[in-house]
Structure 1
Amino acid sequence: MGGVRELAASFVAPGPSGVAVRDRLKHLTAQDVHVLRAVGAHQGALASRDLKARCADGPDHSTESWAGRKRELTKVSSSRIAGAITKATHDQWALARRCQAAHIRSLEAGIKVLKHRLSLPVGEKGTKRAPGGYRSRGEWFHKSRRLKALEHRHAAAVRDWQAGWVRVVRGGKRLLTTRHHLAEAGLTEGEWRERWEAERWFLAADGESGKRYGNETIRVTPDGQVSIKLPAPLTHLANTKHGRYTLTSTTVAFTHRGVEWADRVEGNRAVAYRIHCDTAKDRWYLTASWQRPAVQTIPLQAARAGGVIGVDTNADHFAAYRLDPHGNPAGEPHRFAYDLTGTAHHRDAQLRHALTRLLHWAKQTGVTAIAIEDLDFGAEKTREKHGRRKRFRQLISGIPTGKLKARLVSMAAEQGLAVIAVDPAYTSMWGGQHWQKPLTTPHRKMSRHDAAGIAIGRRALGHPIRRRTAPPPHDRSDRVGHRTVQAAPGARGREGTRPRIPGPRIRSEPPDAARMRATRTPKTVRDVRSDQAWVQDSLLLTE
């Protein structure tokens, strides 16, 4: 086992730090839509200008430059709107820097694999831990050219990183690329332009505790009335005093977490709002979000107290198995299927539905935690590592590891369940080796994924994955106690020492083999004289 890497310790995932709910703005009048579009376009232009200035600053950014940008924005909007725009700009720039660093690491991983495979002789086979050489001289040549291309991209990315340059597209790079493929997207130029402008609008405001209803810019009263503080150049559109515009024919009512939202609004605690338009459906939505106080996660031992459900994440389903606190599998395996094809909204709904069914079953069983692998396929999706296995790379890329962890933690917290993250190393291999065959019966079909769920759960509970420890030190009998790590000494129903079975104690012959042979009906017909001694009988003489 010298090649086994060191396993990371299991830990309880921290709970969610924020909440977001959404409701549709219905029955908007033509004037309401006109005002929302005007405000969004005006503030979107300010946000684009501020992002350009922030990207130009690069790593030389300072609090003085931030204050200067905010003063310039305040002249054409308001202090609170300027603060919301500059904060959103910094968040967007920081996200671009993180993506740039991830891109550099991906290029480095690809270059490393290419150099390794190019250094091997053509046709040399690989191992489970390292790929082999390329299969032909032609493939070797093309990969050598790709290595040069990746090195050039890596050098350019490193230069941008050191200079602090990032590339950000307000509205989205994918939508920008769609402009050149309108026929394939099924859009006209006017429809694309409308969607592009809507994505670049800025209709958001951060909350502020102590202010009326928790937000001075976009205000929502407890009875659902929405009003907006207009920027300075658009105050002529106001229909109420103090330069505010109130949506005349619509109210919002947050069905999900509505009581929690109302408590915050009536207590004048901070609530952030965002208004956006879905141009494909011609609908407007209002999203409310707020932060939760940091909740101390429960200790790992407390999370293990009631047992866990080990969950193995796959491309099309969750494979889950319940384990008691001593690591014993209980009941039958459960599978929760989902379909990750189609649009992003469809994939997100499928994931939520599968997690909801998983958590409902967890509550019914009475466990205290969900055990899941701490997956990250960032370095596993490179073309250089998996070669021609395009379907496999697409399979890995389709597993929503980041969104899954975020959603599971948020939804489990509402059900009072902890989430234990474990090291994913060897769970499928060791689970299939130690648990798949022993638990397979004529009425229970165990897959490798079900066995991996048991391995994940046992690792979360602090037990080894293998079913038994090494044999006792004296001999193969149970002289020094039973060989098990599945139950504590005082647990009810604990497997005790093996009962005495009469008969020989060797593996080649079962107990009471002679008695079994005597009562067994032969399956083949044979000459009965073969079991008797060769004796010649005397002749019977008659007259």
Structure 2
Amino acid sequence: MAELRPIASSFVVPGPSGVAVRDRLKHLTPADEQVLCLVGAHLGALASADLKTRCADGLGHCSDTWAARKRELTVQSSARWAGAITKTSHDQWALARRGQADHIRDLQAAIATITRRLSLPVGRKGTRKEPGGYRSRQEWFAKSRRLHLLQDRLKRRKADHQAGRVRVVRGGKRLARTRHHLDAAGLTESEWRNRWQAERWFLAADGESGKRHGNQTIRITPDGQVSIKLPVPLAHHANAPHGRYVLTCRVTFAHRGVEWRDRIEANRAVAYRIHLDAQRGRWYITASWQIPQAPTVPMATALAHGVIGVDTNADHLAAWRLDTHGNPIGNPRRFTYDLSGNAEHRDAQIRHALTRLMHWARACGVNAIAIEDLDFEADKTREKHGRRKRFRKLISDMPTSRLRARLTSMADQTGIAIIAADPAYTSRWGAQHWQKPLTTTKRTTTRHDAAAVAIGRRAQGHPIRRRTAPPLAHRSDGQGHRTVQAGPEAWGREGPRPRIPGPRTRSVPPGRGAYAGDQNAHHRPERSAEHVPLTLSP
């Protein structure tokens, strides 16, 4: 029998540590748009040059080089703009460095898998945990060539990592590659050029606590007036004192607007970012700030009113409500989404599905949602599932990390706790123990619905299987309750059996007579026997 991997304990997911809200800059005049374009292009050029310098420094970066870069940028912009640009360059370099380390780990895992499979005889079958040998000599030869390719690639990546060299594309590598496939993307060269320039602009400022309205560079007043501190070379475009430009539009921030207004009135730090959606020709502004992380709710408190188990799939969320004893209540629910299209469409689909899930949880009075702690990074490689392209695409399309982050941030405002459960064997054991019993003539239970029940039970600490019987020698009420669904302290666990109507005769089976609801009338230890008075006909 194959050894099962250990099951990790469920835990309550901590809440978010920051907030970001967005609003559209409506009714901008041509002069406003011209100033925003000039400022974004000027600061974007400075940001590109600074990022190049930071990447050239590599591991030799220190506080002195940082100060020198900031002094050079201050002359061409301002001290605060220079601080924001250098901080962004550091964040981009660090992100590229982490991505480089992840890529090295992926290459090492792929090389280890190919090496193992090449050492096996051709045609040997694999197991559930490990793939077998390659199917043919041709595939074995092709994979041996790929092994040398990956080893050479790993050697170069390790050399770059040791030297501190990273490769960053301001504007995005995907958009840069689209330039060579304009027909497939449905873009003209001018449209692509506009999107490329807009992505490389820089209009972002970090917040400052104690300063007026929490930001000296991009300032928004409580009534929604937006003003920008212009760089030194563009100061002649100012229409307000101290080299500032005031936009004609007003900002409201419908979502979390009260919280945002309280922060700026108290002069607490708020960061802003202005960006242009070149496809729609619309300007947006995003406000973000840090929030104190709320204390994690104890597991017992979160599960006091039951839980909703959620199984994540490529096109829907399968959910089922469970009571405190792990029993499914009502019918399963399915929240569908479509992950085709661009990133904004996919994000909107996920938010819409999660919104419906949260509304259902609040209507049920449940304070906890259990999801799987999924991570497919090690399971979707082409070396492990090379021929199974549909399966690789299926698990690659699942929005695991994005969905969990969205669900955590949305649940923080509703008071619903998110519980992460180990995903091991939930689909298999759920189908084995729950799919058939929950299927009726009026309800078809799928594997995903059964998996949702398994996930909810694991989050509650119950075993996934439906029933645990007592030992064979003690199958009586003296050994204890016959199921682990409810403990001895649960009220109503041994309530009266329903009385079945019918004639009262001496041949009525036990538990079916008039005294069926009287527990004291049954033949049980320490209980009196049933005495039914006989009536004699005259």
TM-score (norm 1): 0.89
Of all paired residues, the percent bearing the same amino acid is 70
d(CA) in 2 for partners of 1:471, 1:140: 54
Asked if structure 1 preserves the Cα contact closer than 8 Å seen for 2:481 and 2:487, the reply is: no
Aligned to 1:538: none
d(CA) in 2 for partners of 1:239, 1:127: 72
Within a 5 Å distance, the mapping from 1:346-361 to structure 2 comes to: 346-361=345-360
Aligned to 1:65: 65
Asked if structure 2 preserves the Cα contact closer than 8 Å seen for 1:482 and 1:497, the reply is: no
- Aligned residue for 1:360, secondary structure, equals helix
Within a 5 Å distance, the mapping from 1:132-531 to structure 2 comes to: 132-247=132-247, 249-469=248-468, 471-472=470-471, 474=473, 480-494=479-493
d(CA) in 2 for partners of 1:59, 1:491: 63
d(CA) in 2 for partners of 1:478, 1:472: 12
Name the amino acid aligned to 1:238.
A
Asked if structure 2 preserves the Cα contact closer than 8 Å seen for 1:472 and 1:478, the reply is: no
d(CA) in 1 for partners of 2:481, 2:266: 62
CA apart distance, 1:492 = 2.7
d(CA) in 1 for partners of 2:109, 2:277: 39
CA apart distance, 1:473 = 5.4
Aligned to 1:107: 107
- Aligned residue for 2:384, secondary structure, equals helix
CA apart distance, 1:241 = 0.8
d(CA) in 2 for partners of 1:156, 1:470: 60
Tell which deviates more after alignment, 269-278 or 151-160: 151-160
- Aligned residue for 1:386, secondary structure, equals coil
CA apart distance, 1:362 = 0.5
Asked if structure 1 preserves the Cα contact closer than 8 Å seen for 2:481 and 2:488, the reply is: no
Name the amino acid aligned to 1:22.
R
Aligned to 1:13: 13
d(CA) in 2 for partners of 1:156, 1:423: 37
Asked if structure 2 preserves the Cα contact closer than 8 Å seen for 1:482 and 1:496, the reply is: no
Q: CA RMSD in A?
A: 1.9
Name the amino acid aligned to 2:249.
T
Name the amino acid aligned to 2:488.
P
Name the amino acid aligned to 2:340.
T
TM-score (norm 2): 0.90
Asked if structure 2 preserves the Cα contact closer than 8 Å seen for 1:326 and 1:486, the reply is: yes
CA gap of 1:495–1:379, structure 2 versus 1, over 3 A, is farther
Q: Following TM superposition, where does structure 1 have runs of at least 4 consecutive aligned residues deviating by more than 4 angstroms?
A: 475-479, 495-499
Asked if structure 1 preserves the Cα contact closer than 8 Å seen for 2:131 and 2:384, the reply is: yes
d(CA) in 1 for partners of 2:274, 2:494: 61
Within a 5 Å distance, the mapping from 1:108-123 to structure 2 comes to: 108-123=108-123
CA apart distance, 1:276 = 0.5
Asked if structure 2 preserves the Cα contact closer than 8 Å seen for 1:478 and 1:497, the reply is: no
d(CA) in 2 for partners of 1:286, 1:276: 6
Name the amino acid aligned to 2:56.
A
Aligned to 1:508: none
- Aligned residue for 1:335, secondary structure, equals strand
Aligned to 2:28: 28
CA apart distance, 1:64 = 2.3
- Aligned residue for 1:353, secondary structure, equals helix
CA gap of 1:188–1:2, structure 2 versus 1, over 3 A, is closer
d(CA) in 2 for partners of 1:75, 1:232: 8
d(CA) in 1 for partners of 2:57, 2:345: 39
Deviations 1:411-430, CA, capped at 9 Å, x for gaps: 11111100011111111111
Deviations 1:7-39, CA, capped at 9 Å, x for gaps: 222111111111111111112112111111111
Deviations 1:424-448, CA, capped at 9 Å, x for gaps: 1111111111111121111221111
Aligned to 2:504: none
CA apart distance, 1:496 = 7.7
CA gap of 1:150–1:335, structure 2 versus 1, over 3 A, is same
d(CA) in 2 for partners of 1:174, 1:359: 34
Name the amino acid aligned to 1:424.
P
> How many aligned residue pairs are there?
500
Asked if structure 1 preserves the Cα contact closer than 8 Å seen for 2:469 and 2:483, the reply is: no
Deviations 1:311-332, CA, capped at 9 Å, x for gaps: 0000111111111122122111
- Aligned residue for 1:310, secondary structure, equals strand
CA apart distance, 1:483 = 2.6
